[in-house]
Amino acid sequence: MKKILTISILLHICFTAFSQEKFFRTSKAKVKMPIVAQKLTQQELADYVKSNFKDSAIPTDAENVYKINNILLSYWDWPVNTGEPKRTLEERKNLTLVSYNSFNKKHGNLFKDIEANIITVNNIKYLIDKHSYNNDVYIWFFSEDRKINSLLGLVQFSKGNETEANQVLNDFLKTVNIDNY
Amino acid sequence: MTLISDSTYTKNNPNILAQNKYNKRDTNFTGTVIYSTPNGKFVSAWKYIKGQLVSGAPYTGNNAKSNSLITRNNTAHNDILVNCTTVYAYTVDPETGGELPGSQVDLYTECDDGPLDYGASAGIDGGTTPTGTNGGGNGSPNNKTKSPCEPGGGSASSAAINAVKGNYAKSRVLQQNVGFPAPTTPAPTNPCPPGATTYPATTPVDPCAQRKYLATVALNSIIANQNAQILANGLKTGNEYGANENITNFQDSNPTYMNTPLSTSDSNEGWVPTFTWNPTSGYTIGISHYHPDGTAPSPDDIFVLMGNLLNNKDLSASPAGQTYYKSHVSVTAITNGTTYVVTINNWATLQTLYNQYIVNTDQYDTKYLSNVKINNGSYEYTLLSTFGDAINLYTAPNNSAIYTPVATNSSKSVSNVVCP
């Protein structure tokens, strides 16, 4: 009996260890999500994407993934000191457009509705990078570098939900607090 | 004959498989055709993407035929969501009943929730779904035909090596317009679809030791002059410029570099390298070019090295040349401030990545671009995390011969490798 109990406990520990989600991409940003926002587990994200999109660019190792009606929103931090030459948001905007053009030149205009803009919300500058692919729309946001981190993330939705998605992103960015970041 | 179609081909319409018979193949067929004996023993298998043959486990003779197995090797990627499966064939060891060492032939890798996993994003579409079988076949099972890789071989109407295009390499693809290859089609000859030729991993390169070699190359007057001109022209025009690094004799312990002309595509979105492997035009053991956007070498820059190894007839015909090439080849990307050099550390890993790349370059490049964004625009981090042990990456200030190896670290950053 003792043996069976021991094995059961070991199995439980193993199961718990393997089923626990491990996140590489987390965030220390203070944000407020709308009441309808549903935080997704990695499996829920995979299931939702499979049912609603052709593909997804939301990282599977991101801790903060939300479904807000039909919109997916995810965000995470990135360390400022990456060892790579620093680029301003303006330089990144230009690089973004070049990379899309280069991609489309090679792949026959698969990326559509390309936009890259710099906006300021609550005195924080963001690069907003948008494109559509296979009728799924992706809006990336990248904050300017803070002391230690920058905040970035992705809003993904189907064409047709653009107005709501823009609202979701605007509302989200308004709540972002990355003081002492 | 069993057809395993990709869901991107059937698109919820299994009836489309009726367009494929032994002697008739839909030009858009994406999936795998497996030949087996009436008793179910494996004969050969062929992988198609949009009607083009991209890899295969060929017929290897009557003895092997009866002892070969096709199996699946499951590996988990990214720890959580994406389970990938490598389908491979092997020969049964008659003594042990297990896999005969060295007999494994990788066919392709696909993932349950997406055909390929290139990074940390949740790929979804394109999973392979068994959707039907077609029996029959009118070929003679023992009628050995030429490989579909060989000109005029099998039922192929033509075979061509795609030239290096843009600044990326495209693999050789088979232009086949009629039925499937005969079940007993033998192993294709090089250049071939991926999976048919496997390059073993070379001895891992000590990046600190390799710095000395890179310094020797950078200090060579011809290379230094070429790189200076590439940078000067790039800065002047904002366009990509580049040149081959060709030597006159790879068997010379102290090879002489040749002056090769600079070229440009008059664009900031790519540069077209060339490749030669002969004493007249030279032996190309490196390419160097300008990246006006300041980014590290791209996957295309690296895959072109693999493409040369697989596709160039002169290099394929020279085992000594291949050995030299594999241990010396490099790609240099010069930016406004930093010069990057990539060398190959593990050719087997690189070939695995290359095979994924050529199966669906659209998808590969899309994922890579997404991963750059996921990594907050860090091209260095994305390159290193994607290619893993396949490459060594070095950086140096422009016009310097002191290269520093760089690697990813646990805090999502790239840092210098400390060399003794």
Is residue B199 exposed (0-12), middle (13-18) or buried (19+ Cβ within 10 Å)? Answer: middle
Nearest by CB to residue B80, choosing from A21, A25, A79, is: A21
- Report the 10 Å Cβ neighbour count for B135: 9
| Helical spans, DSSP H, in B329-378 | 347-359, 361-374
Q: In terms of Cα–Cα distance, which of A122, A117, A118 is closest to A31?
A: A122
Looking at residue B296, the DSSP 8-state letter turns out to be P
Phi and psi torsions of B189, nearest 5°: -95, 160
Residue where the block lists tokens 């060295």: B102
From A37's Cα to the closest Cα of chain B, the distance in A is: 20
Is the model's pLDDT at A91 over the cut of 90? yes
Beta carbons within 8 Å of B405's beta carbon, 6+ residues apart: B207, B208, B210, B211, B392, B393, B394, B416, B417, B419
Distances (CA, A) of B287 to A144, B244, B341, B380, B386: 35, 5, 10, 19, 21
- Does the pLDDT at position A26 exceed 90? yes
Closest Cβ opposite residue A98 in set B268, B338, B412: B268
pLDDT computed for residue A5 by the predictor: 52
pLDDT value, residue B24: 61
H helices of B169-283, where?
A: 207-219, 221-237
How far apart, in whole angstroms, are the C-alpha atoms of residue B368 and residue B357? 10
Nearest residue in chain B measured CA to CA from A103: B365
Q: How many CB atoms lie within 10 A of CB B23?
A: 13
B125 contacts in A (CB within 8 Å)?
54-55
User: Do strands B330-334 and B282-290 pair parallel, antiparallel, or not at all (unpaired)?
Assistant: parallel
DSSP H or E run through A8: helix A2-19
**ipTM computed for the complex:** 0.89
Q: How many angstroms separate the CA of residue A2 from the nearest CA in chain B?
A: 33
> How do residues A54-66 score in pLDDT, each as one tens digit?
999 999 999 999 9
Which residues, numbered 166 to 205 in chain B, qualify as contacts with chain A under a Cβ-Cβ cut-off of 8 Å?
166, 168
CA distance A68 to chain B (A): 19
Which residue among B124, B362, B406 sits closest to A83, beta carbon to beta carbon?
A: B406
Candidate from A106, A150, A154 with C-beta closest to B168: A106
Per-residue pLDDT of chain B (420 residues; tens, 9 = 90+): 666 666 666 666 666 766 666 556 676 777 776 655 555 555 566 666 666 666 555 544 433 333 333 333 333 333 333 344 444 444 444 455 555 555 454 444 444 433 333 333 433 333 322 223 333 333 333 333 333 333 333 332 222 222 222 333 222 222 233 445 555 554 444 333 433 344 444 567 889 999 999 999 999 999 999 999 999 999 999 999 999 999 999 988 888 999 999 999 888 888 989 999 999 999 999 999 999 999 999 999 999 999 999 999 999 999 999 999 999 999 999 999 999 999 999 999 999 999 999 999 999 999 999 999 999 999 999 999 999 999 999 999 998 999 999 999 888 889 999 988
* Dist CA B179 CA B157 (whole Å): 11
Rg (CA), chain B: 23
B365/A contact by beta carbon, under 8 A = yes
When scoring A54, A77, A84 by the number of chain B Cβ atoms within 10 A, the one with the most, hence best to mutate, is A84
Can you count the helices (H) and strands (E) in chain B?
10, 19
Q: Is A78 in Cβ contact with B122 (below 8 Å)? A: no
What is the least distance, in Å, from the CA of B121 to any CA of chain A? Answer: 4
| Helix, strand counts (H, E) of chain A | 4, 7
A-B CB pairs within 8 A amount to 129
B80 in contact with A at a CB cutoff of 8 Å? yes
Count CB atoms within 10 A of the CB of residue B140: 11
Q: State whether residue A56 is helix, strand or coil.
A: coil
Q: CB contact, 8 Å: A129 with chain B? A: yes
pLDDT attached to residue B354? 97
Would you say A142 and A89 are in contact if contact means Cβ atoms under 8 Å apart? yes
